Structure 1
Amino acid sequence: MSDVRVVISREPDREERVVTTGTTAAELFQDDRSIIAARVGGELKDLSYVLQDGDVVEGVAIRSEDGLNILRHSTAHVMAQAVQEVFPEAKLGIGPPIKDGFYYDFDVAKPFTPDDLKAVEKKMQEIVKRGQRFSRRVVTDDEARAELAGEPYKLELIGLKGSASTDDGADVEVGAGELTIYDNIDAKTGELCWKDLCRGPHLPSTRLIPAFKLMRNAAAYWRGSEKNPMLQRIYGTAWPSKEELKGYLDFLVEAEKRDHRKLGAELDLFSIPEDIGSGLAVFHPRGGIIRRAMEDYSRKRHEEAGYEFVYTPHATKGTLFEKSGHLDWYADGMYPPMQLDEGVDYYLKPMNCPMHNLIFDARGRSYRELPLRLFEFGTVYRYEKSGVVHGLTRARGFTQDDAHIYCTKEQMAEELDNLLTFVLNLLRDYGLNDFYLELSTKDPEKYIGSDEVWEEATETLRKAAEKQGLPLVPDPGGAAFYGPKISVQAKDAIGRTWQMSTIQVDFNLPERFDLEYTAPDGTRQRPVMIHRALFGSIERFFAVLLEHYAGAMPPWLAPVQAVGIPIGDAHVPYLQEFAAEAKAKGLRVEVDASSDRMQKKIRNHQKLKVPFMVIVGDEDMAAGTVSFRYRDGSQKNGIPKAEALAELVDVVERRVQV
């Protein structure tokens, strides 16, 4: 029997090994129980893969990104098998892994109930204990159709084989190249228990699924299209250990407590009235104070950095977006046109950049004016599908803190460097400190401009990002159609990552709008345009901060920074005088003169997460002092009024949390 040579890749090392013909990846990694699949020549393979001469092989650990996806996809198969054992009439849709979990779609007569999910989960536990093997086999189209004749959705997927990947998980089932079916084989009897169309890979055995839980069910259109049948989707999660599953479930409990929609109602900050429509929020007075404080500080910092404020209308003729290219590339994200003048379509604007170009082009520009930094709190409208609208974080109408910088090519590198530093420092001022950067590059199917221009813009962005000393993660194909992008990704207090600021270099829109400036030698030159949204949108950033702080906003952003709590009615005038002095110093201080007992007042304002309670009784009035009760329940008594006011002012000005 001849031997084959393989290379085991364990970054940064590579080890050449000679193995017997017929050796599998499982045998190659038999000493490492964390390995559940292999990457061979860059492609993921089952551990049952038979090694070939010259293969470069890398083990895929269960806790790696690919390993977690394989674990979760395998668990999705177990769930689908369990559903069909409990509900034999169920027809199979698709079941891809997703962030932190998986789902599978089913065509059933009626929606699943919570009791149904419990029954399916119990059946899954039985399947896992049986130790079924996942066994891959290649089939022809005709063989697959014959074997899956009772599965109409699988038959449709067979017809998609070789087509471009979709965003609905169908490529997990078919993809390009060979068509494969995975059999679930009973490890003891060799009996075929279940099978599914899938390109894999999978775990070797169901016994390698250590911890899982079914989370919820929802309705979902087949392959994401409203034109298709409505199916029932079951979501679940799976982890490499019971401890990690428990940690994730605890995290979800904490995340639910921090849900900005829940906090928005509890703290009377905002609402999304049905009479206005999904994704269109109104801010209540308390939320309006937070929003104004956010905007005022941002406005101050932008003015200090040399930005000039502009304002543009909410609607425009469609010809503007034809000129910018948005109607070619972005029409699906725009509201339908309005016929305001005969034969002229008007659109609600989905972005501000075309209008800023018109401001630049309103008169002749000189190199002496560059960089020209235009800034706008500009409200835009995007038609998001109802299924993706989510409170303030995915809205249909929102206000961008939108800036467009026009500069020379020579100024571009320094401007990007300064801009990224400005963005990160301003985010830190709002209390976010844990960042990494993402570089989104050209989508080969969706871009305008030359490859040379894209390459230059991408490399300039890359160099600016690397100067920050933060991790830089590639996002191939994630750029907008007009230029590459740097995204600032920030982690919140419980470790979730949010996309914050975006910075995009654009050589193309200045070309489309024929923007020019007069160079020192008198020639007309084309400026470089840099797109930048620091918050992304004010609404979304509001939601991120609300969840980051769990509603307990730092005093400088809190709607009420301190509330006076009188022990008795006789103490109200003294507190009102204190509040008046505080307001004169720019503080937001109220006095609770209601008829409620003192302890109830304290509980009420604790629920509203007020940073300071200023409590006054007879001794304080006699001594000219107050008592502070802090948000954590601690208290400091007998503080002279002047010192108390100075402490409030100091905490607000330093923008610290208490």
Structure 2
Amino acid sequence: MSKAWELFADDATIIAARVNGTLKDLSYDVAEGDEVEGVAIDSADGRDILRHSTAHVLAQAVQQLFPEAKLGIGPPIQDGFYYDFDVPTPFVPEDLAKIESLMKKIIKANQKFSRRVTTDADALEELADEPYKVELIGLKGAGTDGSGHEAAEGASVEVGAGELTIYDNLDRNGEVAWKDLCRGPHLPTTRRIPAFKLMRSAAAYWRGDEKNKQLQRIYGTAWESQEELDAHLHRIEEAERRDHRKLGRELDLFSFPDEIGSGLPVFHPKGGIIKREMEDYVRQRHIDEGFEYVGTPHIAHESLFHTSGHLPYYGEGMFPALDVDGQDYRLKAMNCPMHNLIYRSRQRSYRELPLRLFEFGHVYRNEKSGVIHGLTRVRGFAQDDSHSYCTKEQAPDEVKHLLNFMLTVLKDFGLDDFYLELSTRDDQKKDKFVGSDEDWASATKVLEDVANETGLELVPDPGGAAFYGPKISVQAKDAIGRTWQMGTVQYDFNQPAADRFNLEYIAPDGSRQQPVMIHSAKFGSIERFLGVLVEHYAGAFPPWLAPVQVQAIPVADAFNDYLRDVAQQLRKVGVRVEVDESDDRMQKKIRNAQLQKVPFMLIAGGEDVANGAVSFRYRDGRQDNGVPVADAIARVVAAVESHEQV
């Protein structure tokens, strides 16, 4: 036997090992015949190990500074980590500065992460002063807490179904400086943490359940180099600058009035222009792709959603029942049940398939207040929702058609860096999904085969499927590299079934057959897509989407009439234009147009009027003087029609 670290002694980037497919510490004993692979610190697994190890250092520093603190859990998360603590008073920024300073000393001390196996009984005795750890030990291997809830948010880093382990942080003398219940693996030593920063603190319910005690959560981030940390912090600064909620106010696009309620946006005239352009575009695209436009109401008898299966499997996401004349109605959270009724309204022939229905369906979902976020997570939104009804044989081509449709939509809106995610059933929790193993296998294979044909990266998402079938989602990267889930294609063998809507078509041999139903939303939701676009473009929309495409700026009041006439010519060819006739000086008017991120400014003074021209200014500051009015108009029209950024 040899230690895993001996196999990678010459590579300083290796911080753990994958032995026979399982992540292990570098101190793991490797036997002859084991398949061993090094885990680099800059890999996905490596970063998780780095961040989880840094979370341990955070917890050690907190308990040294605040001895009364009780430990919750401390998992790695996307781009960082957190640790929860039960403390008498909330942390303040000054506390975080002290904690971060002590963490640096712990890292410099080069403490060793040492794993040891223990029994449940010994762990309960050793950690008797840590009530939350004791609770996790009691839940070890249970999976749920007995009421159907997950045993603990992030608890997989603490306990599992196998052996129980504790990690000791050993000082230079081999003495235990600190310890924590943990599955690991960890870095070899604290000195292997190259760069980290604590970000903020916030309240968080124990195990993510609002019925439990509220703890204090400290968030941090850790990276494989100072350069990567600096780049991450820069991305955060850029994300804050692009925050669609902030830009929505500054550009007068939308708001969230308290009088209406949380997660229910209203669009102002300028935001309404963008929304209308998006709707007009995607409506015409659906028509071009063979879809028929339909419309359905916002509420329906509760029984409809029992038939579809949504109330039994998705009831928590729907608003409570409304009493209408003694009957229970529900605000719809999805459009598909009503589209099924349109399909079923008359007998269908195989000659009609695929039958493609589409609408802007406004739906309502009872999101918890803690997850509502601007336009990207709301309670009321419009979906560009479509449903294709086809034979099983037609399903692969229909999925391909929908996926290509979706990708071209994203490209037309300036999003062209994406990968695909395949969400499948969690086979350990089959009770949360409907359908046979055969149904799931065949549906998943259709989606997987089509996704692979695109040549795009396909990332598995086990357990992420809807209750009625698997789905492909497009994960698109924005201008600063963040990933957003955009449109989806979902294969549904549930709702057409005889015990649901009993959808049928007459086959060529005269028999009645069940169609396949394929759900698709290209934007996902118009509100969310618009929020993503605001951040992608930092509010500087391409001309075709900009609320005001041209700002006409007279050098003095004497030239107002001239620019009014130019503006009228622009409006005749469909350009959105405003003339700034305010009392502000010309430079202030230019500055205002730049702040509003108007793509083009047409400036006119005496020489321009004499020559029938304008000074053509772009929002980035470039300017062409003496451009004939007709040429300026043609330049604007060409930019709008190209759908490109300028």
Please state which band the TM-score falls in when normalised by the shorter chain. over 0.9
Match of 2:166 in 1: 181
| 1:137/1:182 contact within 8 Å kept | yes
Where does 1:423-442 land on structure 2 (aligned, <5 Å)? Answer: 423-442=406-425
Name the CA distance, whole Å, in 1 between partners of 2:350 and 2:175: 78
Quote how far apart the aligned CAs of 1:231 are.
Answer: 0.5
Name the CA distance, whole Å, in 2 between partners of 1:485 and 1:123: 47
SS in 1 for 2:30: coil
- Establish whether residue 522 from structure 1 lines up as the match of residue 510 from structure 2: yes
- Which of the numbers 160, 172, 176 marks the counterpart of 2:157? 172
- Which of the numbers 323, 341, 345 marks the counterpart of 1:339? 323
Match of 2:436 in 1: 450
| 1:613/1:630 contact within 8 Å kept | yes
Match of 1:605 in 2: 593
| 1:484/1:504 contact within 8 Å kept | yes
Q: Could you tell me which amino acid in structure 1 is paired with residue 307 of structure 2?
A: K
Q: Could you tell me which amino acid in structure 1 is paired with residue 167 of structure 2?
A: Y
Superposed CA deviations along residues 133-190 of structure 1, whole A, max 9, x for unmatched, are 111111111211111111111111111111216561112111111111111100x211
Name the CA distance, whole Å, in 2 between partners of 1:334 and 1:162: 32
Name the CA distance, whole Å, in 2 between partners of 1:142 and 1:415: 57
Match of 1:381 in 2: 364
- Which of the numbers 192, 202, 227 marks the counterpart of 2:186? 202
Match of 1:330 in 2: 314
Q: Could you tell me which amino acid in structure 2 is paired with residue 631 of structure 1?
A: R
Q: Could you tell me which amino acid in structure 2 is paired with residue 495 of structure 1?
A: G
Match of 1:409 in 2: 392
Quote how far apart the aligned CAs of 1:58 are.
Answer: 1.5
Quote how far apart the aligned CAs of 1:345 are.
Answer: 2.1
Where does 1:583-598 land on structure 2 (aligned, <5 Å)? Answer: 583-598=571-586
Match of 1:6 in 2: none
Match of 1:573 in 2: 561
Name the CA distance, whole Å, in 1 between partners of 2:287 and 2:295: 15
Q: Could you tell me which amino acid in structure 2 is paired with residue 175 of structure 1?
A: G
- Which of the numbers 78, 86, 92 marks the counterpart of 1:113? 92
Match of 1:12 in 2: none
SS in 1 for 2:348: coil
Match of 1:492 in 2: 478
- Establish whether residue 77 from structure 1 lines up as the match of residue 56 from structure 2: yes
Superposed CA deviations along residues 78-127 of structure 1, whole A, max 9, x for unmatched, are 00000011111111111000000000001111111100000000000010
- Establish whether residue 501 from structure 1 lines up as the match of residue 480 from structure 2: no
Match of 1:638 in 2: 626
Match of 1:144 in 2: 123
Name the CA distance, whole Å, in 1 between partners of 2:140 and 2:443: 36
SS in 2 for 1:439: strand
Superposed CA deviations along residues 434-467 of structure 1, whole A, max 9, x for unmatched, are 1211111222222211211222211111222122
- Establish whether residue 650 from structure 1 lines up as the match of residue 638 from structure 2: yes
Higher alpha-carbon deviation: 561-570 or 504-513 = 504-513
Name the CA distance, whole Å, in 1 between partners of 2:437 and 2:124: 43
Name the CA distance, whole Å, in 2 between partners of 1:166 and 1:35: 32
Q: Could you tell me which amino acid in structure 2 is paired with residue 228 of structure 1?
A: N
Quote how far apart the aligned CAs of 1:470 are.
Answer: 1.3
| 2:253/2:269 contact within 8 Å kept | yes
- Establish whether residue 265 from structure 1 lines up as the match of residue 249 from structure 2: yes
SS in 1 for 2:463: coil
Q: Could you tell me which amino acid in structure 2 is paired with residue 501 of structure 1?
A: G
Higher alpha-carbon deviation: 247-256 or 413-422 = 413-422
Superposed CA deviations along residues 345-379 of structure 1, whole A, max 9, x for unmatched, are 22111111111101111111122221111111111
Name the CA distance, whole Å, in 2 between partners of 1:531 and 1:482: 11
Name the CA distance, whole Å, in 2 between partners of 1:594 and 1:250: 38
Unaligned runs of 5+ in 2: 144-149
Name the CA distance, whole Å, in 2 between partners of 1:360 and 1:559: 38
Superposed CA deviations along residues 481-536 of structure 1, whole A, max 9, x for unmatched, are 11111111111111111111100111221112100112222221111110001111
Match of 1:546 in 2: 534
Quote how far apart the aligned CAs of 1:339 are.
Answer: 2.2
Name the CA distance, whole Å, in 2 between partners of 1:414 and 1:254: 41
- Establish whether residue 479 from structure 1 lines up as the match of residue 465 from structure 2: yes
Match of 1:122 in 2: 101
Match of 2:111 in 1: 132
Name the CA distance, whole Å, in 1 between partners of 2:370 and 2:39: 34
Quote how far apart the aligned CAs of 1:336 are.
Answer: 1.6
SS in 2 for 1:509: coil
Match of 2:65 in 1: 86
SS in 2 for 1:330: helix
| 1:448/1:481 contact within 8 Å kept | yes
| 1:102/1:237 contact within 8 Å kept | yes
Superposed CA deviations along residues 395-444 of structure 1, whole A, max 9, x for unmatched, are 11111110001112222222222221111111111111112111112222
- Which of the numbers 209, 222, 227 marks the counterpart of 1:238? 222
Superposed CA deviations along residues 285-311 of structure 1, whole A, max 9, x for unmatched, are 110000101111111111111111111
Name the CA distance, whole Å, in 2 between partners of 1:131 and 1:467: 49
| 2:70/2:85 contact within 8 Å kept | yes
SS in 2 for 1:508: coil
Quote how far apart the aligned CAs of 1:238 are.
Answer: 0.2
Name the CA distance, whole Å, in 2 between partners of 1:220 and 1:61: 32
Match of 1:13 in 2: none
Name the CA distance, whole Å, in 2 between partners of 1:277 and 1:626: 47
- Which of the numbers 289, 312, 315 marks the counterpart of 2:296? 312
Q: Could you tell me which amino acid in structure 2 is paired with residue 274 of structure 1?
A: D
SS in 1 for 2:366: coil
| 1:442/1:478 contact within 8 Å kept | yes
Q: Could you tell me which amino acid in structure 2 is paired with residue 382 of structure 1?
A: R
- Which of the numbers 269, 286, 306 marks the counterpart of 1:302? 286
Higher alpha-carbon deviation: 624-633 or 161-170 = 161-170
SS in 1 for 2:394: helix
Name the CA distance, whole Å, in 2 between partners of 1:281 and 1:56: 55
Match of 2:547 in 1: 559
- Establish whether residue 229 from structure 1 lines up as the match of residue 213 from structure 2: yes
Name the CA distance, whole Å, in 2 between partners of 1:278 and 1:166: 30
Quote how far apart the aligned CAs of 1:52 are.
Answer: 2.6
SS in 2 for 1:339: strand
| 2:496/2:517 contact within 8 Å kept | yes
Match of 1:464 in 2: 450
Q: Could you tell me which amino acid in structure 1 is paired with residue 421 of structure 2?
A: E
Superposed CA deviations along residues 33-66 of structure 1, whole A, max 9, x for unmatched, are 1111111222211111112343222211111111
| 2:139/2:151 contact within 8 Å kept | no
Distance 1:307 1:254, change over 3 A: same
Name the CA distance, whole Å, in 2 between partners of 1:311 and 1:153: 52
Quote how far apart the aligned CAs of 1:263 are.
Answer: 0.7
| 1:443/1:481 contact within 8 Å kept | no
Q: Percent identity?
A: 68
The aligned length equals 635
Match of 1:5 in 2: none
Q: Could you tell me which amino acid in structure 2 is paired with residue 505 of structure 1?
A: Y
Q: Could you tell me which amino acid in structure 1 is paired with residue 39 of structure 2?
A: V
Name the CA distance, whole Å, in 2 between partners of 1:424 and 1:177: 43
Q: Could you tell me which amino acid in structure 2 is paired with residue 81 of structure 1?
A: Q
Q: Could you tell me which amino acid in structure 2 is paired with residue 182 of structure 1?
A: Y
